[in-house]
Amino acid sequence: MGLGHEQGFGAPCLKCKDKCEGFELHFWRKICRNCKCGQEEHDVLTSNEEDRKVGKLFEDTKYTTLIAKLKTDGIPMYKRNVMILTNPVSAKKNISINTVTYEWAPPVQNQTLARQYMQMLPKEKQPVAGSEGAQYRKKQLAKQLPAHDQDPSKCHELSPNESCYRCKLNMKEGDPAVYAERAGYDKLWHPACFVCCTCNELLVDMIYFWKNGNLYCGRHYCDSEKPRCAGCDELIFSNEYTQAEGQNWHLKHFCCFDCDCVLAGEIYVMVNDKPVCKPCYVKNHAVVCQGCHNAIDPEVQRVTYNNFNWHATTECFLCSCCSKSLIGQKFMPIEGMVFCSVEWLAFKPDRAGVGNYPTTQLIRQICIGTTGEHQESSVHRLKKTSSGNNQRTPGGQTGIHPTASRIGEPKNKITSGSTEPSGMCHLLIDSATA
């Protein structure tokens, strides 16, 4: 920004006289480059500038008149009170009139009162035009009301523009900004950036909590102070509580989401992030075996293919044609049925005779002595943790809950190689302790 270097350029120095070539403002020191004296030491005509400077002090205050607000430049009209006093001087024969001009006088209508005010000032400080007092007033005006304190354009170098505390983007001049008193006035936010640091939601009605350099909504500020029960949503003030599934619970509130039975020391299954006891899981949520059409207990092994499930037993996971057990064997799935051969793919629909699949008789012949490529199944036993707790089983996650903590293990996935015939399945083995 400019410093107004053209203002007063070449004005003679009242102190150095002819030793100064004329006023030339230093690019940042606020003094003359030639004689090192201040601008106030030079004969710079600044009467209008002085009026504007004082006028800005009263801009948009209760002292600003309506006419001043309507001015196009936005600077309130201010005119310092220049007073001319007439002092009659009596001689022996003639009476002459002596006038005294004060460059500033108190804004009163009574000249007698103004004269008394001026006469009570030290004579060398009375602002009589052209006197030492007028020069004194000029110096003090420049020192007490420096222009660069009011007008950024008169500053040599400003700090970077203020930026939003959250998005770090610069704030635009004239745009609204949010200040948080507890955060300090050195921080400000765009209205859309005034959000909770945890949930990133707008702070409703601009009600905020400030902690460790972060904004919080009321809920998450409380969460930073005390644990919150995942069951009742209330803060936990007791020293004893349960931690499970990455959440905190009152001791009596870690219970089955279906029947409300307490789960401490019991087996539970997580269903949609809610704990469910084993009986309720089997009754309401367990998957059904394609072989026996019974619910599959969460603690037993099962075989999963797409949306189909079987008990991992020789009685349930077997060939739909010849009843050969497929545990540890290769198989071919067809819409919920599994077969021990893939050679039926060579048959055409017109030779098979029924729909798009071979007849039962043809399939039964294929199942005997087949030599094709197949998917291989295998059963994985659940590993034990050091504490002896059961790890979870897919289709719901199970665990023993003596201290309200459950350890989980992901599904084991077995996929065939890239040379596998088209149509072969990908087998998922779900495992749990027997």
Query: How is the chain split into domains, by residue range?
Result: 45-88+98-154, 226-346+360-390
| pLDDT value, residue 284 | 92
Q: Which residue has the tokens 């040599």?
A: 156
Token couple for 362: 């043809």
DSSP-assigned states of every residue in 214-253:
EEE-HHHHHHHHS-BBTTT-PBP-SS--EEETTEEE-TTT
| pLDDT value, residue 333 | 80
How far is it, in rounded angstroms, from Cα 342 to Cα 403? 50
Cβ neighbors of 36 (< 8 A, separation 6 or more) are none
| pLDDT value, residue 88 | 55
Q: What is the pLDDT of residues 293-302, one digit of tens each?
A: 999 988 888 8
How far is it, in rounded angstroms, from Cα 356 to Cα 307? 21
pTM above 0.85, yes or no: no
| pLDDT value, residue 416 | 26
Cβ neighbors of 191 (< 8 A, separation 6 or more) are 176, 177, 178
Third-level CATH fold of 226-346+360-390 = Cysteine Rich Protein (2.10.110)
- Residues of the chain scoring pLDDT < 70: 1-8, 27, 45-81, 85-98, 156, 336, 342-434
